[in-house]
Structure 1
Amino acid sequence: MTEKQNQESVRYQLYERPPFATLLGLSLQHLFSMFGATILVPLLAGLSPSVALFSSGIGTLIHLLVTRGRVPAYMGSSFAFIIPMASLLKTFGYPAVGQGVVAVGLCYLVIALLVAKVGTDWMDKIFPPEVVGPVIMVIGLSLAQTAAQSGTEINGHYDWRAFLVAGLTLLVMILSNQFLKGFLGMIPVLIGIAFGYLLAMLLGLVDLSGVQSAAWFSLPKFDFLFMNKGHFDSAFYPLAMLTMVPLVLVTLSEHLGHLLVLKKITGHDFFKDPGLNKTLAGDGLASVFAGLIGGPAVTSYGENIGVMQLSKVYSVWVIAGAAVLAAFFAFIGKLTAIIQSVPAAVTGGVGLMLYGVIAAAGLQVLVDHRVDYSEKRNLLIAGPILVIGIGNFHWALTSQIDFSGVALATVLGVCLNVLLPKAEKGKDSRLRD
């Protein structure tokens, strides 16, 4: 399918607003897709899940405001900072975590100012198709193992019920996307999740005890920047900043990668409109806000990009609707508990589709630009990117600073593209038998 044909199949373009009922359904689809990952981060770090949900919703609205409503990106909790946040929380309390998260946001703002000064022409030079394609593929496929484990294991052991739920959830999503028309054809992920949830309930995989005990209205347990267990804390924690700021390199590479994916599937160059400086500033301010109220640092989410690719709905109104719902649900205890009760087998089944869809977008970049892999240079760039990223060949600089395989693969791809000489015209650089 050509890019023109791909755009003709889109149901809602970037700035189109669906009717309210349709908008609500599409936004719920995005909410369910990102919910598990967004609350998992605070649970692992020791922070409040409801605050993380609230900060992700408001953070997304902040990002939309800064980017003038032109980028359909959802801001969810970042996994890159789990270890340092958990360590800082245990050692010093929330003020240290908050200062680290705010410092991450401020670092993004500084980078945004630099980009505003130098422009984005350098992007085309360091991110040609032979780099972009494999990097996008890595962003999706690096999560494949997580989806597969969620869809086959329960408490670390293989369970046929998880396999059945994940497999049928995937099948229902495929059939819904292929054969359903109208509104139902736009929400295959939501249909798959609903089916998987009911099946998991029949198989005894759903724990509703949290729903029964949850209050209808529950105020999120906000931890404000200079408050420590209810008392004012004006201490300054430079270690928090030194620990968390280096990981900006990880999330920055994810930020660039997600923009590249969005550019591919929507046909819109977000590096130029609204500009990389605006998207970075929006991400930075969202993290600053999260740090002020007790939430983890945020970043754009691949799950939501996968939903857009699958549903062919790119509307920023839908992303804004998901953000409003997330902020609202943070105060409704039972609704949050119901979403939280969705078993990993269901989200694993969804991931089997969404992560693959992202990877396929990277493959399409290579096809559209006719990247020739009989050329030695292209092979030498793509090979290490794919293995390092998918295999998560990571670099643990310290116990708190760990550069993921995706980050290393992206940086390596850029370096190889700059350093490896291109074939001279008239000379054949192709591999020969």
Structure 2
Amino acid sequence: MNAAFSPKTILTGAQMLFVAFGALVLVPLLTGLDANVALFTAGAGTLAFQWITRGQVPVFLASSFAFIAPIIACNQLYGTAATMGALMAAGGAYMILSVLVRLKGTDMLHRVLPPVVVGPVIMVIGLALAPVAVNMAMGKSGDGSAQLVAYDHAIWISMLALCATLLTAVFGKGIWRLVPILAGVFVGYMCALFLGVVEFSAVQQASWVAAPAFTAPEFKWQAIAFMIPVAIAPAIEHIGDMMAISHVTGKDFLKKPGLHRTLMGDGVATTLAASVGGPPNTTYSEVTGAVMLTKNFNPRVMTWTAIIAVVLAFIGKMGAVLQTIPVPVMGGIMILLFGSIAVVGLKTLFKAHIDVSEPRNLVIIALILVLGIGGMQIGGNEFALQGVSLCAIFGILLNLILPPAQSESQN
């Protein structure tokens, strides 16, 4: 039997989807998108990535956490259809980066987007949504305007979900250490069932087999200008993920098939996802960890992961069950999730040995953090820059305009 069609390869592919599943569906559940569409676009995006990279890289692409805050904000400002159009443009920005990397090499990318800019931008992505996480953990809507679940019940549900997530992440062994979000959702959901706050009417009405609720994009230049700068953080994260999977497999994927091809694959996958109403795609470090654990480096495994994801997307009741997960379950997990994203940004600064006492570095980092987290807005009703997009642009401009730090100029 062909190894690509062997039961072992198919089962390993299913296991990889199990590892990615919690994070994959969390993004649409938090942003109001359809979870079944996210499953479909994760599978379709992974297949597109494999085609572009000639089936050489064993990675799985799915919902990107970096876009959670921008999607929520863009939805409120411009609507879902315009947000999808903006996300397609963000995927286009990946493709442009891919072409620039092919023509100029990776040094160009690091000059425009050094750690002193990327680190604090990633921190903003995590911390900007801290109030949303806390509100949801207390049973409120994200903006705190409505109490969806009684506080006495919500705090138990959210804290148990949080504890299960962090305990699995810290003390889990083997494959279980790679699924902390799934563990948190399960424990929180069981608690919610016990307290009687889960509503099943939507599940009873849903069909077993149904097409995902695809959404057509709409293009508004205001939404596009708002979203494109957000692509900075996941693009840099993509490079790190490629380096990680290269280290795990002992192959240099930055050279073959090349970073330009992997960036292009990510961009096409994101544009494809947004064109039908799905969240942007990114490579999953959880799946990279699973590859390291299983020692199965065959990219065909990810083909089966993608195929299984596409098939599951057409099970209507699955999406309905996911929608029954109460707000406090998500809130408890988000507290740890958004804090973890901020720590990744901090790690970026530490790893690059950025001297924050240097006035130049201090100014760039301080302005990015305050403009991004503080909610500064520049513009009016027709067009406004705010949040991650505003602070990213400020960071890039300051880095290009300000003279090098003394420690850099002496080297």
Q: Please indicate the TM-score interval, normalised by the length of the shorter structure.
A: 0.7 to 0.9
Contact 2:62 2:282 in 1 (8 A): yes
TM-score, normalising length from structure 2? 0.75
Question: What SS class does the counterpart of residue 376 from structure 2 fall into?
Answer: coil
Which of 92, 111, 116 is the equivalent residue of 2:102?
116
1:332, CA displacement in angstroms? Answer: 0.7
AA aligned opposite 1:69: V
Which of 27, 44, 57 is the equivalent residue of 1:69?
57
TM-score, normalising length from structure 1? 0.71
Aligned to 2:238: 259
Contact 1:258 1:300 in 2 (8 A): no
Aligned to 2:174: 182
Separation in 2 of the partners of 1:105 and 1:172?
A: 34
Compared CA separation, residues 313 and 205, structure 1 to 2 (3 A)? farther
Q: Is 1:352 equivalent to 2:322 in the alignment? A: no
Compared CA separation, residues 171 and 82, structure 1 to 2 (3 A)? same
Which of 357, 382, 391 is the equivalent residue of 1:374?
357
Compared CA separation, residues 100 and 390, structure 1 to 2 (3 A)? closer
User: Where do 5+ consecutive residues of structure 2 fail to align?
Assistant: 1-7
Q: Is 1:220 equivalent to 2:199 in the alignment? A: no
Compared CA separation, residues 98 and 137, structure 1 to 2 (3 A)? closer
1:24, CA displacement in angstroms? Answer: 3.6
After TM superposition, the structure 1 stretch with the greater mean CA deviation from structure 2, 307-316 or 101-110, is 307-316
1:420, CA displacement in angstroms? Answer: 1.7
Which of 138, 155, 158 is the equivalent residue of 1:163?
155
Compared CA separation, residues 136 and 271, structure 1 to 2 (3 A)? farther
User: Where do 5+ consecutive residues of structure 1 fail to align?
Assistant: 1-17, 90-96, 226-236, 429-433
Aligned to 1:12: none
The 5-angstrom pairing of residues 26-175 of structure 1 reads 26-38=16-28, 41=31, 43=33, 50-67=36-53, 68-69=56-57, 73-75=61-63, 79=71, 82=75, 86=79, 109-110=95-96, 112-155=98-141, 156-157=146-147, 159-175=151-167
Q: Deviations over 1:209-232 (max 9, x none)?
A: 11122221123355789xxxxxxx
Separation in 2 of the partners of 1:146 and 1:353?
A: 12
Separation in 2 of the partners of 1:280 and 1:119?
A: 12
The 5-angstrom pairing of residues 383-398 of structure 1 reads 383-395=366-378, 398=381
Contact 2:206 2:316 in 1 (8 A): yes
Separation in 2 of the partners of 1:87 and 1:72?
A: 26
Aligned to 1:411: 393
Aligned residues: 382
Separation in 2 of the partners of 1:31 and 1:397?
A: 39
AA aligned opposite 1:371: I
Contact 2:12 2:301 in 1 (8 A): no
Aligned to 2:5: none
Contact 2:24 2:39 in 1 (8 A): no
Separation in 2 of the partners of 1:398 and 1:340?
A: 33
Q: Is 1:206 equivalent to 2:198 in the alignment? A: yes
Compared CA separation, residues 405 and 319, structure 1 to 2 (3 A)? farther
Contact 1:56 1:326 in 2 (8 A): yes
Greater helix content:
2
Compared CA separation, residues 382 and 25, structure 1 to 2 (3 A)? same
Aligned to 2:321: 338
Root mean square deviation of aligned Cα:
4.1
After TM superposition, the structure 1 stretch with the greater mean CA deviation from structure 2, 197-206 or 355-364, is 355-364
